[in-house]
């Protein structure tokens, strides 16, 4: 057993093999961080191999919105797997995919009429960028640039990386391989702050200077997630939509993190009452069960793409429209269709409004912010990952911070008692200097 594991020996998982041979996300093979073996998960709890139960504050990277081991999602998976787990989507269609696309179009902004299903969030972003490029190609214009925002994050694949914040990400590492795009300053005015039109100055300037090269503006509406957990003013989004209209640019809304209720609206774009030309959905689409994503667009974009030289959209992943994933997604969207999530997310938001401000009394805390089922504590210095992770586990919660950010995005079904546990655990770590770098 690895001495890296601050957990009991009572586990079936070969942790030594894991540590020596298995790559975990953003983790060194040379000095890996501890990995906690999980045996099962139920509702809002993750059960460790040693029997400890942790309240989940992460929704497994923001996807498990209905909680783990949900009977309706389990049943959907079981029903479908007995019929067919997978069949190719080229030249074939099936009820799970058709039902899912109907459901997606019924909840998405009304101007979106076409759905492209894919494997993961990053691929949905790649698809959106390719759609925009092919759109301009069909119109006889070679536009090869995108405008993206500082502090934005859009995924780990190459095109997605290229529109992710250049300083906050892997740009320098992959210099020479990543195409260079135009970046505008991140929106500086918070969701609840007083709006000031000057917040749009930089993006107006960038668009005015580069609009003939730009195919689309890509952004995460209202909440910039992995690039800094920043929650910005809806008027910024309104202003960007107006700029796109003024200059004839496409607007790509990456709602992979924000979509399906997380910010209190079905889609975060609704906070600004705008509609994008292309919309990316992922993560919560299957309730966090299996990987699936979708890129939606208007008839205008879809038809322009297909009227071009290629005659079709040039993308077709092997597992496109995977029936198993679609069936689970249908069950997940049916749960959302009950509307229960609205009150659940509202309750979480009110809970954050009541509790998070009290954390600013800690010297270590720079700022707290929240929206919908997203609560963020920004520290003044980065966390000490190994120590803080163990402190959270010892306190009976699963919270995975990054950099200076301790945030919680729990399953929508979480109750006050479990939220108390999450906040108390954060309080405990804020009292401990060993949980933070100096």
Catalytic residues, which ones?
Answer: 26, 153, 254, 283
The distance of closest approach from Cβ of residue 255 to ligand PMP in the complex, given in angstroms and rounded to an integer, is 8
The distance of closest approach from Cβ of residue 66 to ligand PMP in the complex, given in angstroms and rounded to an integer, is 18
Return phi, psi of residue 291, to 5°.
-80, 135
225 part of the interface to ligand PMP, by CB under 6 A: yes
What angle, rounded to 10 degrees, do the helices at 340-355 and 323-337 form?
70
**Minimal CB distance residue for ligand PMP:** 121
SS3 104: helix
The distance of closest approach from Cβ of residue 166 to ligand PMP in the complex, given in angstroms and rounded to an integer, is 16
Q: How many CA atoms lie within 13 A of 203 on its CB side?
A: 27
The distance of closest approach from Cβ of residue 43 to ligand PMP in the complex, given in angstroms and rounded to an integer, is 23
d(CA 42, CA 129): 37
Of 28-36, 121-129, 230-238, 427-435: span binding ligand PMP (CB under 6 A): 121-129
Q: Given the complex with ligand PMP, which of 109 and 308 has the nearer CB atom?
A: 109
The distance of closest approach from Cβ of residue 428 to ligand PMP in the complex, given in angstroms and rounded to an integer, is 27
Q: Given the complex with ligand PMP, which of 43 and 375 has the nearer CB atom?
A: 375
254 part of the interface to ligand PMP, by CB under 6 A: yes
Q: Given the complex with ligand PMP, which of 121 and 308 has the nearer CB atom?
A: 121
Q: Given the complex with ligand PMP, which of 73 and 219 has the nearer CB atom?
A: 219
> Minimal CA–CA distance to 411: which of 107, 58, 116?
58
Asked if residue 394 lies in contact with residue 387, where contact means CB atoms within 8 angstroms, the answer is no
Q: Given the complex with ligand PMP, which of 319 and 351 has the nearer CB atom?
A: 319
The distance of closest approach from Cβ of residue 98 to ligand PMP in the complex, given in angstroms and rounded to an integer, is 23
220 part of the interface to ligand PMP, by CB under 6 A: yes
Among 48, 125, 272, 336, binds ligand PMP (CB under 6 A): 125
Asked if residue 36 lies in contact with residue 50, where contact means CB atoms within 8 angstroms, the answer is no
The distance of closest approach from Cβ of residue 223 to ligand PMP in the complex, given in angstroms and rounded to an integer, is 9
d(CA 212, CA 205): 13
Among 43, 121, 276, 372, binds ligand PMP (CB under 6 A): 121
CA distances, 342 to each of 76, 115, 284, 337, 372 (Å) = 23, 25, 15, 10, 9
What angle, rounded to 10 degrees, do the helices at 95-107 and 323-337 form?
40
Q: Cα dihedral sign for 19, 25, 29, 30?
A: negative
Among 104, 178, 214, 226, binds ligand PMP (CB under 6 A): 226
The distance of closest approach from Cβ of residue 326 to ligand PMP in the complex, given in angstroms and rounded to an integer, is 16
Give all strands of the β-sheet with 214-219 in edge-to-edge order.
Answer: 112-118, 293-298, 278-281, 250-254, 214-219, 145-149, 182-184
- Residues contacting residue 154 through CB under 8 Å, at least 6 positions apart: 122, 125, 148, 160, 161, 163, 164, 218, 220, 254
Of 5-13, 52-60, 218-226, 351-359: span binding ligand PMP (CB under 6 A): 218-226
The distance of closest approach from Cβ of residue 17 to ligand PMP in the complex, given in angstroms and rounded to an integer, is 25
Interaction residues for ligand PMP, span 269-298 (CB under 6 A): 282
Torsion angle of the four alpha carbons 124, 127, 133, 136, in this order, in degrees rounded to the nearest 10: -90
Of 32-40, 141-149, 251-259, 372-380: span binding ligand PMP (CB under 6 A): 251-259
Of 27-35, 37-45, 249-257, 320-328: span binding ligand PMP (CB under 6 A): 249-257
At 391, list the tokens: 């402190």
126 part of the interface to ligand PMP, by CB under 6 A: no
> What is the Cα 289 distance to its own chain's centre?
15
Q: Cα dihedral sign for 147, 150, 155, 157?
A: positive
Asked if residue 12 lies in contact with residue 49, where contact means CB atoms within 8 angstroms, the answer is yes
Interaction residues for ligand PMP, span 91-120 (CB under 6 A): 120
CA distances, 277 to each of 137, 153, 219 (Å) = 16, 19, 12
Among 216, 257, 329, 385, binds ligand PMP (CB under 6 A): 257
> What is the Cα 236 distance to its own chain's centre?
20
122 part of the interface to ligand PMP, by CB under 6 A: yes
256 part of the interface to ligand PMP, by CB under 6 A: yes
232 part of the interface to ligand PMP, by CB under 6 A: no
401 part of the interface to ligand PMP, by CB under 6 A: no
77 part of the interface to ligand PMP, by CB under 6 A: no
Interaction residues for ligand PMP, span 147-176 (CB under 6 A): 153-155
Enumerate binding residues for ligand PMP (CB under 6 A). 120-122, 125, 153-155, 220, 225-226, 254, 256-257, 282
């Amino acid at each position: 057993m690895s001495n890296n594991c601050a957990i009991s020996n009572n586990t079936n998982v070969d942790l030594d093999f894991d540590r020596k041979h298995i790559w975990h996300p953003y983790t060194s093979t040379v000095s890996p961080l501890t990995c906690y073996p999980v045996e099962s998960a139920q509702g809002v709890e993750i059960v460790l191999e040693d029997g400890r139960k942790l309240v989940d504050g992460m929704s497994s990277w923001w996807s498990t919105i209905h909680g783990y081991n949900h009977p309706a999602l389990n049943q959907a998976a079981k029903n479908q797997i007995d019929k067919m787990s997978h069949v190719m989507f080229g030249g074939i269609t099936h009820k799970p995919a058709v039902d899912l696309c109907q459901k997606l179009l019924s909840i998405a902004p009304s101007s979106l009429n076409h759905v492209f299903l894919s494997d993961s969030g990053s691929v949905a972003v790649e698809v959106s960028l390719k759609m925009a490029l092919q759109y301009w190609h069909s119109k006889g214009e070679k536009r090869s640039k995108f405008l993206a925002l500082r502090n934005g994050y859009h995924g780990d694949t190459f095109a997605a990386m290229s529109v992710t914040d250049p300083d906050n990400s892997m740009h320098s590492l992959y210099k020479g391989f990543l195409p260079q795009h135009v970046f505008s300053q991140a929106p500086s005015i918070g969701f609840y702050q007083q709006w000031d039109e000057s917040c749009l100055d930089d993006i107006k300037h960038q668009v005015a200077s580069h609009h003939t090269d730009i195919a689309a503006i890509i952004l995460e509406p209202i909440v910039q997630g992995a690039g800094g957990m920043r929650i910005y003013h809806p008027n910024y989004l309104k202003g960007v939509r107006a700029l796109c209209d003024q200059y004839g640019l496409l607007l790509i809304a990456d709602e992979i993190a924000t979509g399906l209720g997380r910010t209190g609206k079905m889609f975060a774009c609704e906070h600004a009452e705008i509609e994008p030309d292309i919309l990316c959905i992922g993560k919560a689409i299957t309730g966090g069960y299996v990987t699936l994503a979708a890129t939606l667009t208007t008839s205008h974009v879809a038809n322009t793409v297909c009227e071009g030289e290629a005659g079709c959209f040039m993308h077709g992943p092997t597992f496109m429209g995977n029936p198993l994933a679609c069936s689970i997604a249908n069950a997940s969207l049916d749960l959302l269709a009950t509307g229960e999530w609205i009150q659940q997310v509202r309750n979480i938001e009110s809970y954050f409004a009541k509790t998070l401000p009290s954390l600013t009394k800690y010297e270590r805390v720079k700022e707290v912010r929240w929206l919908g089922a997203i609560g963020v504590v920004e520290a003044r210095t980065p966390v000490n990952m190994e120590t803080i992770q163990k402190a959270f586990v010892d306190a009976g919660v699963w919270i995975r911070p990054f950099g200076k950010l301790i945030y919680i995005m729990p399953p929508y079904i979480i109750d006050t008692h479990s939220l108390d546990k999450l906040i108390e655990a954060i309080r405990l770590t804020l009292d401990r200097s060993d949980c933070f770098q100096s």
